[in-house]
Amino acid sequence: GSHFWLSPKVLRFSGSYLASARLPRVVQPTLNRLAAQAQGSFSVVVLDEREVVIVARSVALQEPDLQASSLGPPQRAGATSRVLAYGLHLGARLPAHATSTGRVLLAALDRQALAAWMKTHVLYRLTPYTVTDAKAFRAVLAQVRAEDHCLAHEEHELGVHALAVPIRNAQGRTVAALNVVTGAHRLTPAAVAGHWLPLLQDAALEVRSLL
């Protein structure tokens, strides 16, 4: 008499969104291509208050566990697979301040909107590496804004490393963020500059004219 729970009918809401929203439909083929090409876990997210929401993601959740010398796509067949990052499913909500995608989207806010966001949201700690100081966090966002991408190491979850870039529409407004979650040995400075960052930027440019 005093307990209740959600039934599968609640999925009608998310199903209606995914069926009608333009963004997930536009980016899904690109995400699938990226996953097949680079064997990482790719997602597109949008900002919703203090969280980011995954609205599209690549089909594959696993990637080969490669040697530290690998800079880009897998070089060795038959590698052991492992799942990266807990809860990276469609519709998952993650804290914006501690994720690569969240920082990309926050960095795109104008000064007034960012000030309002900072005033009403706590930068709570998730791992020993989470930036929780407001001044330091603003400096991080300034760097993201200047470099037009964000690299986050173990700030949301230990062992999780991610690189994100903004997705802009034809008018130049940031509407979402695209990221890859992979192992630390695949996100070395050389790998980011020479492989992952161009890969993500080209993908974001690919869908820009469709938004």
pLDDT tens digits for 4-21?
Answer: 887 777 767 665 666 557
Q: Convert 134-155 to b/e letters by CB count within 10 Å (16 or more is b).
A: eeebbebbeebbeeebbbbebb
> Does the structure show a pLDDT above 50 at 193?
yes
Q: Which token pair is 7?
A: 């039934």
Helices marked H in the chain:
11-20, 22-38, 100-107, 111-120, 134-147, 189-191, 197-208
**Measuring CA to CA, which residue among 123, 197, 195 is closest to residue 164?**
197
pLDDT, position 81:
36
Band (195; pLDDT cuts 50, 70, 90)? very high
Report the 10 Å Cβ neighbour count for 43. Answer: 29
Q: In this predicted model, which residue has the larger pLDDT, 210 or 107?
A: 107
Alpha carbon dihedral 138, 141, 145, 146, in 10-degree steps, equals 70
> Does the structure show a pLDDT above 80 at 183?
yes
β 62-64/150-153 pair status: unpaired
Q: Which token pair is 210?
A: 């469709």
103-135 confidence digits (pLDDT tens)? 999 999 999 999 999 999 999 999 999 999 999
